[in-house]
Structure 1
Amino acid sequence: MTDDSDMTTDVSAEDARHAMKMAKKKAARDKIMAGKEGEKGLVIVHTGAGKGKSSSGFGMILRCIAHEMPCAVVQFIKGAWDTGERRLIEGHFSGLCQFHAMGEGFTWETQDRARDIAMAQKGWDKAKELIRDPEIRFVLLDEINIALRYDYLDVAEVVTFLRDEKPPLTHVCLTGRNAKDELIELADLVTEMTLLKHPFRSGIKGQKGVEF
């Protein structure tokens, strides 16, 4: 039979091993962080078939608002939607975040390629204007990857602009499935959302507060 003193010794030894392991991990982490310095405006890409690309982009927009960093959103494709993000930003934070809904719906809804191209170009023109503005620190280009996928915009032009004209401390986030290879190559941070399971496949429509 094990007495209480043996159990206490075992727990104490386990706690000591854990503390030593965490101390080593902290020392390694501190060493890595000591080599990081300076700031840079990042090009961020959220792509993949899974949910969360736009949600993550808007999460960063809210962080900017919390830090009182001027920011902006340009929505491609989904511009006609009445989304919670748009209501919140326009209703409460318009002084810190500009919101420009430039699309008219997904391409299978408009069924007008020339019109889609014109709207995408209008959105890109607005995006360039916002990115060039030195007062704006973060610009979210929501669903621009869809416009690039269908060649509504020239990916070479987008990449060249982001590489050569984006101010050094401005962050730009581009969301949407099927990000072009050229954009992935340019980006500082790329995340691919992987779809494992989605209620839409079970016949459940998009839910308020989850999808929009």
Structure 2
Amino acid sequence: MQITSPPTTKPYEKPDGERRGLVIVNTGDGKGKSTAAFGLAFRALGRGKAVKVYQFMKVPSARFGEHRLAERVGLSVEGLGDGFSWDSKDLAHSAQLARDGWARARADILSGEQFLVVLDEVTYPLIFGWLPLAEVLETLQQRPKTVHVCLTGRNCPQEIIDLADTVTEMQQIKHAFNAGVPAQRGIED
């Protein structure tokens, strides 16, 4: 490790542009995409902002740690899917669930009533061809200027990355699962 001196002057100038809703993307093969999105949602909720989370791959009855906390603090989280695609009994049904969920999420984005709408794992129904990319892009472009949208998932389409204001790619360097350690409640649930 190399020791460095702490900065003694501010390393940036405050931007003078207007504050507006942002399109934020968390993508990549590393862990933390949904976790970061939930952190953002809880931060906005903590400021008294209206927030809605749509989870495109989670079942409506999901009870992971984030769902339990969301219930306690009043964060609206809606599971739209029927689980991982490899567990699906009917991919046509999974696709329809994604389209139905997208219609609700799209309405929330365009209504202007939400400060932040999280589209968790939305990249999967996009890259599976279940959702029309053109409509998602159009919705992001036409949203009211006060609405922030955070999209998560691996392999985010380049068109969304190009449109986004902030894109973070989570890169896996090392993962316990690859060393034979199973997922653990409270860490990866």
> How high is the TM-score relative to the length of structure 1?
0.82
Other-structure match for 2:107: 129
Question: Paired residues, what number?
Answer: 184
Matches within 5 A, 1:169-180: 169-180=146-157
Other-structure match for 1:211: 188
Q: Which one of 183, 206, 212 corresponds to residue 160 of structure 2?
A: 183
Whether 2:23 is the aligned partner of 1:46: answer: no
1:152 and 1:163 map into 2 onto residues whose CA distance is 20
Say which SS state the counterpart of residue 116 (structure 1) adopts.
helix
Q: Which runs of 5+ in 2 are unaligned?
A: none
Aligned AA for 1:88? L
Identity %: 39
Q: Which runs of 5+ in 1 are unaligned?
A: 1-17
Root-mean-square deviation (CA), in Å? 1.6
> Is the contact between residue 109 and residue 139 of structure 2 (CA under 8 Å) also seen in structure 1?
no
1:46 and 1:147 map into 2 onto residues whose CA distance is 16
Other-structure match for 1:83: 64
1:111 offset after TM fit, Å? Answer: 4.1
Whether 2:136 is the aligned partner of 1:155: answer: no
Whether 2:79 is the aligned partner of 1:98: answer: no
1:149 offset after TM fit, Å? Answer: 1.4
- Larger gyration radius, structure 1 or structure 2: 1
1:156 offset after TM fit, Å? Answer: 1.3
Aligned AA for 1:82? R
Say which SS state the counterpart of residue 40 (structure 1) adopts.
coil
Matches within 5 A, 1:102-117: 102-117=80-95
Q: Which one of 142, 157, 175 corresponds to residue 198 of structure 1?
A: 175
1:78 offset after TM fit, Å? Answer: 2.1
Please identify runs of 4+ aligned residues in structure 1 that moved more than 4 A: none
Aligned AA for 2:58? K
Deviations 1:78-127 (A, max 9, x none): 2353211111112x222xx3221111101100042211110110110110
Whether 2:36 is the aligned partner of 1:59: answer: no
> Is the contact between residue 74 and residue 102 of structure 1 (CA under 8 Å) also seen in structure 2?
yes
> Is the contact between residue 110 and residue 139 of structure 2 (CA under 8 Å) also seen in structure 1?
no
Other-structure match for 2:48: 68
1:67 offset after TM fit, Å? Answer: 0.2
1:36 offset after TM fit, Å? Answer: 2.1
Whether 2:97 is the aligned partner of 1:119: answer: yes
Say which SS state the counterpart of residue 178 (structure 1) adopts.
coil
Aligned AA for 1:77? M
